[in-house]
C-alpha cells in the first residue's frame, strides 16, 4: 500500500498542464532547437505556473547554462520539481550546485531536500561529492533522503568516492529510514558498487520479511545475478519461484541459475518456470538456463530430459521453442548438431542462424548459398544472414564473401549496413581497412541527410574509429555539416543552435495533431492496450505518434524487441529495429518516472527519435530523464506483460 500511495502522490504533482495548444511559439523554438531567449523569458517571468513549467521543459534541452540565474529567481518551493529537473538536465555547473546545496541545507521539506540532493548528483563535482559524504556520516545519514540517487548520478558521470559502498550499506540497514530509501539504495547498489560484502545484508532483509516491494526484490535478485550468486536457502528459492508476481518469477529465472542444486527435487522448483503461465518468464528462463553448470552428470541428464520433454509437449510458443533449442545445443555441445537436425523444421530464421553462428566451425556452411538467397529474403532474415556471414568471415579468406560484405555496407538497408558496421571483427577491419574507408565515405556522403540512416551512420563512424583516429576525424568533419540536428550536434560541439533545420510545415503537421486525441488503443493479437497521451509533457512525440497512426504506419507492425521484465518495443516500419518514419523528432525529457505502463520513445541518442516506441513492463529508474515519455497505459497492463517478441500490432485506434 505504501508504494501505491507514493506513486499516486508523485503523479498528483503533475496533474496540471505544462505545454498547451496555445504554446506553439515556445514549442516551435524548442522544436527547431533555437531556444529563443525572448520567447522563453516571456514564459519564465509569467505569473502562470503552467507557462513557467513549459519554459523549464524547453530550457532543459538547451544545454545553455546562461538560463540558470533566471531559474534561481523562480518560486522554488512551489516549482522545485521542474526547477531541479531542469538544472539537472543542464548538467555540471558550480552555479547550479551552490544554489541546490544552499536549498538543501536550509529547507525543511523532505521532498525538496531529496530533489536537491539527487540533482546535485547531476551538477556537482568530486569536491562537493566528498563534502556530502562527510556530512552524511557526521549526521549519521539523518536528513539525507536521496543520497543513494545522488551516488548513482555521480557514478553515471564518472565521479566516484571510496565510501559509497558504506553509505549504501547504511541506507539498507538503518531501520529509522523510510522504505523508499532502501529501494533507492538497492537500485544504486545494482548500478554502481554491489559486491559480495552486500550479499549478507540483502539476504537478511529479504528473509526478515516476505512483504518487500516488487521493486526491492527485483533489484536484489538483479544484484544476485550480477554477482553470479544465489543464497543457499531452498525456502527462499521456493518463495521466489512460486511468487504470484510474474516480475519476481522473471528475476529468479535469471539469478536462480546460480543456486547450488544438489538433487533433482530442487531442480524441479526451478525447471517449472519453463512452463510458467507468463510466456516472457518462459523465454527468460530458457535463456538464463544456458548459464547453469553441474559436476553431477545425473543432474545434467535430468535437465536434458526435461528440456526434450518440453520441446515435445506443444505447450510453448514458437519464440520459447526456438530459444529452448538453442539452450539445448549450448548446454550439450557434443550433441548440438543432432539436436539441431531433429528440431530445425520448427525453428524460425533467427534461431536457425543463431545455431549456425555458434557452430559454423563444425559445419560446412556454404556462404555462396546464403549470398544467393539473400536478395529474396525479408529485412529481418537478411539481418540474420548477415550476422551468420560475419561470423564465418572471421576465419574466411573467401574474396566473394568479402566483396559481398563491402557491397552491403554501401548499398544495404539501414539494418543490414548498420549490422555489418557493428559486427565486423578486428582482423577483417585491419585486413580491408582501405576498402572500408572508401565505402564508409561513400555511405556518409550519400546518407548523412537521411534520417532513417542516422543510427547506421553513427555505427559507421564507430567503425571508422576502429580503423584510425585520423579517419574517424575526417568522417566527423563531414557529419558536422549534416542537416540532421542529432548528427550535426554530435560531431560539432560548437554548432550554432540558431539554425532553422526543421521545416515549418513539418512542425505544424505534428503540432496540429498533438492535442487532437486523448487516447489510443493499440490492438494486438493478444488483446488491447489503451494508452493516455501526455501532450502537456511531450507534444511533439504525441503529435508524431498520432500522425503516424492516422497514416496506418503501425498497422500489422511487430513488437520487434521484447526484453522480459523491462520493455516491449515496436513501431519500426522495417520490423528490424533499425527503421523509422523518414523523419526525426526532438527528445522531450521530463520529470516523470519510468514506471510500469509508461510509454516512451526509443532513440539512438538525443534527438534521434522517430516512430519506434516502447512500453515499460516494470519500473526502471535508469531511463528517467534520458528517454521521452509521451503516454501511459490505462487499460491492458496484463497484455503488456504477456506480449512476446514478434507478436503483431494489428492496428491503432485513436479517440
Mean pLDDT value across residues 62-73: 96
Confidence of residue 12 (pLDDT cuts 50, 70, 90): very low
Q: What is the pLDDT of residues 442-469, one digit of tens each?
A: 999 999 999 999 999 999 999 999 999 9
Q: Domain-by-domain residue ranges, the chain?
A: 365-491, 505-654
Q: What local confidence, expressed as pLDDT, does residue 29 receive?
A: 94
With 60 as the cut, is the pLDDT of residue 477 above it? yes
What DSSP assignment string belongs to 388-430?
HHHHHHTT---HHHHHHHHHHHHHS-HHHHHHHHHH--HHHHH
Q: What local confidence, expressed as pLDDT, does residue 395 receive?
A: 64
Percent of the chain whose predicted confidence (pLDDT) is above 90: 87
With 70 as the cut, is the pLDDT of residue 368 above it? yes
DSSP H or E segment with residue 524? strand 519-524
The structural architecture, per CATH, of the domain 505-654 is Beta Barrel (2.40)
Confidence of residue 314 (pLDDT cuts 50, 70, 90): confident
Q: Which of 393, 655, 628 is nearest to 534 (CA)?
A: 628
Which residues have a Cβ under 8 Å from the Cβ of 94 and sit 6 or more positions away? 125
Q: What local confidence, expressed as pLDDT, does residue 503 receive?
A: 63
Q: How many CA atoms lie within 13 A of 259 on its CB side?
A: 28
Residue 189, exposed/middle/buried by CB under 10 A (0-12, 13-18, 19+)?
buried
**What SS3 class is residue 529?**
strand
Q: What local confidence, expressed as pLDDT, does residue 365 receive?
A: 86
Confidence of residue 494 (pLDDT cuts 50, 70, 90): low
Confidence of residue 209 (pLDDT cuts 50, 70, 90): confident
Q: What is the pLDDT of residues 350-363, one digit of tens each?
A: 999 999 999 988 88
Which residues have a Cβ under 8 Å from the Cβ of 304 and sit 6 or more positions away? 328, 331, 332
Who has greater pLDDT, 392 or 504?
392
Q: What is the pLDDT of residues 148-174, one digit of tens each?
A: 999 999 999 999 999 999 999 999 999
Average pLDDT of the residues of the chain: 93
Q: What is the pLDDT of residues 110-137, one digit of tens each?
A: 999 999 999 999 999 999 999 999 999 9
With 70 as the cut, is the pLDDT of residue 13 above it? no
Mean pLDDT value across residues 398-426: 95
Q: What is the pLDDT of residues 528-543, one digit of tens each?
A: 999 999 999 999 999 9
Amino acid at each position: 500500500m505504501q508504494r501505491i500511495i507514493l506513486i499516486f502522490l508523485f503523479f498528483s504533482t503533475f496533474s496540471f498542464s505544462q505545454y498547451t495548444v496555445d504554446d506553439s511559439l515556445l514549442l516551435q523554438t524548442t522544436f527547431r532547437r533555437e531556444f529563443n531567449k525572448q520567447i522563453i523569458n516571456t514564459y519564465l517571468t509569467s505569473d502562470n505556473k503552467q507557462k513557467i513549467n513549459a519554459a523549464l521543459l524547453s530550457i532543459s534541452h538547451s544545454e545553455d547554462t546562461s538560463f540558470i540565474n533566471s531559474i534561481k529567481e523562480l518560486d522554488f518551493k512551489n516549482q522545485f520539481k521542474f526547477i531541479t529537473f531542469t538544472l539537472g538536465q543542464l548538467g555540471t555547473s558550480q552555479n547550479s550546485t551552490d544554489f541546490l546545496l544552499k536549498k538543501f541545507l536550509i529547507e525543511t521539506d523532505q521532498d525538496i531536500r531529496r530533489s536537491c540532493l539527487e540533482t546535485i548528483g547531476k551538477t556537482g563535482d568530486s569536491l562537493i561529492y566528498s563534502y556530502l559524504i562527510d556530512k552524511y556520516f557526521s549526521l549519521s545519514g539523518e536528513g539525507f533522503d536521496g543520497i543513494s540517487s545522488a551516488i548513482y548520478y555521480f557514478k553515471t558521470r564518472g565521479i566516484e568516492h571510496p565510501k559509497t559502498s558504506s553509505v549504501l550499506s547504511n541506507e539498507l540497514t538503518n531501520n529509522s529510514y523510510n522504505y523508499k530509501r532502501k529501494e533507492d539504495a538497492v537500485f544504486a547498489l545494482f548500478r554502481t558498487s554491489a559486491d559480495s560484502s552486500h550479499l549478507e545484508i540483502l539476504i537478511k532483509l529479504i528473509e526478515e520479511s516476505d512483504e518487500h516491494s516488487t521493486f526491492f526484490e527485483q533489484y536484489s535478485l538483479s544484484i544476485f545475478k550480477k554477482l553470479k550468486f544465489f543464497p543457499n536457502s531452498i525456502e527462499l528459492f521456493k518463495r521466489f519461484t512460486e511468487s504470484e508476481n510474474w516480475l519476481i518469477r522473471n528475476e529468479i529465472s535469471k539469478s536462480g541459475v546460480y543456486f547450488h542444486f544438489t538433487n533433482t527435487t530442487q531442480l524441479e522448483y526451478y525447471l517449472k518456470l519453463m512452463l510458467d503461465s507468463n510466456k516472457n518468464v518462459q523465454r527468460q528462463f530458457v535463456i538464463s538456463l544456458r548459464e547453469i553448470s553441474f559436476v553431477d552428470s545425473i543432474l545434467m541428464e535430468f535437465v536434458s530430459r526435461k528440456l526434450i520433454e518440453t520441446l515435445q509437449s506443444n505447450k510453448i510458443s514458437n519464440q520459447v521453442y526456438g530459444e529452448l533449442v538453442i539452450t539445448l545445443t549450448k548446454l550439450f555441445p557434443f550433441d548440438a548438431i543432432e539436436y539441431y537436425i531433429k528440431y530445425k523444421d520448427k525453428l524460425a530464421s533467427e534461431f536457425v542462424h543463431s545455431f549456425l553462428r555458434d557452430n559454423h566451425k563444425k559445419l560446412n556452411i556454404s556462404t555462396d548459398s546464403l549470398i544467393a538467397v539473400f536478395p529474396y529474403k525479408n529485412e529481418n532474415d537478411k539481418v540474420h544472414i548477415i550476422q551468420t556471414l560475419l561470423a564465418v568471415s572471421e576465419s574466411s579468406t573467401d574474396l566473394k564473401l568479402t566483396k559481398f560484405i563491402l557491397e552491403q555496407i554501401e548499398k544495404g538497408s539501414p539494418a543490414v549496413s548498420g549490422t555489418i558496421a557493428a559486427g565486423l571483427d578486428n582482423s577483417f577491419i585491419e585486413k580491408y581497412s582501405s576498402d572500408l574507408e572508401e565505402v564508409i565515405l561513400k555511405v556518409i556522403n550519400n546518407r548523412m541527410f537521411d534520417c532513417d540512416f542516422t543510427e547506421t551512420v553513427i555505427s559507421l563512424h564507430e567503425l571508422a574509429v576502429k580503423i584510425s583516429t585520423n579517419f574517424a576525424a575526417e568522417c566527423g568533419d563531414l557529419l558536422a555539416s549534416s542537416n540532421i540536428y542529432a548528427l550535426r550536434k554530435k560531431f560539432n560541439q560548437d554548432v550554432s543552435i540558431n539554425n532553422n533545420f526543421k521545416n515549418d510545415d513539418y512542425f505544424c503537421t505534428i503540432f496540429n495533431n498533438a492535442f487532437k486525441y486523448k487516447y489510443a488503443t493499440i490492438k494486438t493479437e493478444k488483446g488491447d492496450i489503451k494508452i493516455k497521451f501526455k501532450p502537456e509533457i511531450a507534444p511533439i512525440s504525441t503529435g508524431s505518434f498520432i500522425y503516424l497512426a492516422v497514416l496506418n504506419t503501425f498497422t500489422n507492425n511487430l513488437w520487434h524487441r521484447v526484453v522480459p521484465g523491462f520493455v516491449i518495443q515496436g513501431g519500426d516500419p522495417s520490423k528490424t529495429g533499425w527503421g523509422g518514419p523518414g523523419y526525426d523528432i526532438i527528445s522531450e525529457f521530463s520529470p516523470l518516472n519510468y514506471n510500469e505502463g509508461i510509454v516512451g520513445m526509443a532513440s539512438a541518442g538525443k534527438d534521434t527519435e522517430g516512430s519506434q516506441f516502447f512500453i515499460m513492463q516494470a519500473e526502471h529508474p535508469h531511463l528517467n530523464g534520458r528517454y521521452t515519455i509521451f503516454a501511459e497505459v490505462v487499460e491492458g497492463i496484463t497484455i503488456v506483460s504477456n506480449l512476446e517478441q514478434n507478436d503483431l500490432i494489428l492496428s491503432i485506434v485513436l479517440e
